[in-house]
Amino acid sequence: MTSLKELQARFQAGILTGDDTILDEVKDSAREQRSVLFGVYRHAYVARLAEVLANDYELLHTYLGDASFAKLAKAYIDANPSDQRSARWFGRHLPVFAKDTAPFASHPELGEIAALEKALADAFDGPDATPLTVADLAATPAEDWPRLTLEPHPTAIRLTFTSNAADIWSALKGETQPPTSTRLPEPQALIVWRQGFMARFRPLAAEEAMMWNEAAKGVRFGVLCEMVAIFAGEDGAEVRAATYLKDWIEAGMLAGCRVEPAHAPLEGAPLEGAGNSASVRPVSQ
Amino acid sequence: MTDHKPPYLGFGLGLRPQHYQEILSGNPAIDWFEVISENYMIPGGQPLRILEQIRERYPLVMHGVSLSIASTVPLDTEYLTALKRLADRVEPKWISDHLCWTGVHGVNLHDLLPVPYTQEALDHVVDRVSQVQDFLGRRLTLENVSSYVTFGQSEMTEWEFVTEVANRADCWLLFDVNNVYVSAFNHGFSTDEFLHGVPQDRIVQFHVAGHSHEEGHIVDTHDHPVCGEVWDFYREAVTHFGPVSTMIERDDNIPPLAEVVAELDIARQIAREVQEGARLTAAE
């Protein structure tokens, strides 16, 4: 008798690869051939996962239409058997798959629309955190501001697009005709995050994107101001940096801040005088 | 296991996101909700917040789809840990999953796959249920699945297998009325044999659902209203088992809440008629 272990391996191969060895183990019913009955499992596997992808990538589905989306879904399902207990995570590789796999790769907006949909979904049910408020920040004495580091909200995700995928997404979301896909002259920076219970995104100007990227690495506010000054001129650099910071706080994009010790430890050196900020990453100054 | 048989909860529904708003704003007359465990094994955000709000108003039970109790690969401790963490948060009246497997070798097929009814499979499942119950610190509730194939190597009937699992592993059973109907049609056995073949004292919940009738077989799609034949079998099940917490299970083509509540009212009506019939018989 075939062992349970071997039986399950054959059953799974029968679903994933179309191998018919399993048919030796199952019986015809009074009304149906065994191949038809086992076919229910084969069909259900692809149909169920294609439905998961269509739900998770609803606007990409709308953009591509049923036939093209079905091709993308089938190619993805064939290349990525699910290794997740929850179907919620099955489609997580679709943005990269669409970006890297022919023929989808020649349409960069496909992978980027998918990336935006995935980021919004991840932000929607990402970790909870209390947003930083202006009042929290106001409690920091002015002389400590240069040593302030910022903690992004845990749902914040930075994306960089080469196509007008964000505009296409917005048009599809608004149920209007999407613009023709184009490559952008310069890459577009976007940030996705959850504000309250709403997953949102917005573009970041180049300078703001630079400052966000550095802030997310734990760079101090004083250094961020210097970077902003180098990026687009010293005139008003501190005001620009403070304005970005205010916008981020008002939008709930930050979850905390802390004042670093006056003398930051060198990378790899033991932390001294850090008190309860032992988890702070070394700052590159 | 020392935990007592879970309480009778009345008539409930599967909690679906499409109905969140109506449930929270309308407080509909639904006795309890069943939540899909995996849908809430997420880091945070609105779904967990809504779950908390609904939990404050209604009793909840947790229903999983990927425990894979009959799989021959080792139990997934990461999954079990997440399940236990969710149970600590939700405090469900019971935790159920299916008497099936969902994949091997690191793959999840996201389907409820059938088990051969052999002594080998029985020993394997009983051992795994015991391990899961020890881990969770409570009895598990197992549901009979709809199946489309039967294995040549099976040595017993499905109801004998289910009964042996329940008695030997000391777990509860979720009697899916529709699944018995579907499997009985597909494999040519009598629903009555299944009904009378499983132990009454182990049954803690009924599922009632719709299905799709193909030419020579039925597919358990949960995307249709409950059909007359399944209601008839539900009536027989209530007559045989007595009051059991009953739930309408709808997973696709989700209709407005009022439509599912109307189906639930059919279940209430049937249970009431059965109870009144029993009272009249007793009085005679």
Q: Do the chains contact at A29 and B46, CB–CB below 8 Å?
A: no
Place of tokens 């009431």: B272
- What the block records as the tokens of A101 is 């796999």
Within 8 A of B45 by CB-CB distance, chain A residues are 124-126, 128, 155, 194, 197
Task: Identify the residue among B98, B110, B215, B254 best suited for mutation to test binding to A, counting A beta carbons within 10 A and taking the highest.
Answer: B110
The CA distance from B48 to B22, in Å, is 17
The CA distance from B111 to B208, in Å, is 19
Domain assignment of residue B256, yes or no: yes
Residue of A nearest to B103 (CA): A12
A263 close to B (CB below 8 A) = no
> What CA–CA distances, in Å, run from B147 to A82, A145, B100, B107, B165?
22, 65, 10, 20, 18
Within 8 A of A45 by CB-CB distance, chain B residues are 109-111
A170 close to B (CB below 8 A) = no
Q: What's the pLDDT score for residue A179?
A: 98
Nearest to B39 by CA among B16, B68, B13, B70: B16
A125 close to B (CB below 8 A) = yes
Q: What's the pLDDT score for residue B1?
A: 62
Task: Identify the residue among A2, A5, A8 best suited for mutation to test binding to B, counting B beta carbons within 10 A and taking the highest.
Answer: A8
Q: How confident is the model at residue B279 (pLDDT cuts 50, 70, 90)?
A: confident
The CA distance from A100 to A124, in Å, is 26
Tell me the one-letter amino acid at A123: A
Which of A27, A31, A40 shows the shortest C-beta gap to B150? Answer: A27
Domain assignment of residue B239, yes or no: yes
Q: Do the chains contact at A27 and B148, CB–CB below 8 Å?
A: no
Range of the domain at B112: 11-283
CB atoms within 10 A of CB A109: 25
Q: How confident is the model at residue B123 (pLDDT cuts 50, 70, 90)?
A: very high
Helix, strand, coil shares of chain B, percent, nearest 5, are: 45, 15, 40
Assess whether pLDDT exceeds 50 at residue B130.
Answer: yes
B218-262 tens-digit pLDDT:
888 888 889 999 999 999 999 999 999 999 998 888 999 999 999
Domain assignment of residue B4, yes or no: no
3-state secondary structure of B177: helix
CB atoms within 10 A of CB B168: 15
Within 8 A of B216 by CB-CB distance, chain A residues are 29, 31-32, 36
Which of A32, A194, A197 shows the shortest C-beta gap to B217? Answer: A32
The CA distance from A246 to A268, in Å, is 33
Which of A48, A49, A128 shows the shortest C-beta gap to B45? Answer: A128
Domains in chain A, start-ordered, CATH in brackets?
A: 129-264 (3.90.930.50)
What percentage of chain B has pLDDT greater than the value 70? 99
- What the block records as the tokens of B90 is 């939700």
Q: Do the chains contact at B152 and A52, CB–CB below 8 Å?
A: no
Min CA distance, A81 vs chain B (Å)? 6
Q: Do the chains contact at B216 and A29, CB–CB below 8 Å?
A: yes
Q: Do the chains contact at A41 and B113, CB–CB below 8 Å?
A: yes
Domain assignment of residue B190, yes or no: yes
Q: Do the chains contact at B111 and A48, CB–CB below 8 Å?
A: yes
Domain assignment of residue B6, yes or no: no
| Average pLDDT, rounded, for chain B | 95
Within 8 A of A9 by CB-CB distance, chain B residues are 104-105
How many independent structural domains does chain B possess? 1
Ramachandran class of A273: left when φ > 0, alpha when ψ lies in -120 to 50, beta otherwise: left
The CA distance from A138 to A148, in Å, is 12
Residue of A nearest to B122 (CA): A4
Q: What's the pLDDT score for residue A127?
A: 97
The CA distance from A22 to B271, in Å, is 42
Contact A88, B42 (CB under 8 A): yes
Residue of A nearest to B50 (CA): A197
Domain assignment of residue B2, yes or no: no
State the angle between helix axes of A58-79 and A34-56 in degrees (0 to 180), rounded to the nearest 10.
130
Residues 51-110 of A with CB under 8 A from B: 52, 81-88, 90
Assess whether pLDDT exceeds 60 at residue B66.
Answer: yes
Assess whether pLDDT exceeds 90 at residue B3.
Answer: no
Q: What's the pLDDT score for residue B261?
A: 95
Contact A150, A215 (CB under 8 A): yes
Min CA distance, A80 vs chain B (Å)? 10
CATH of the domain at B114: 3.20.20.150
Domain assignment of residue B206, yes or no: yes
**Interface predicted TM-score (ipTM) over 0.90:** yes
Provide DSSP, B77-100.
HHHHHHHHHHHHHH--S-EEEESS
The residue ranges of chain A whose pLDDT is under 70 are 263-285
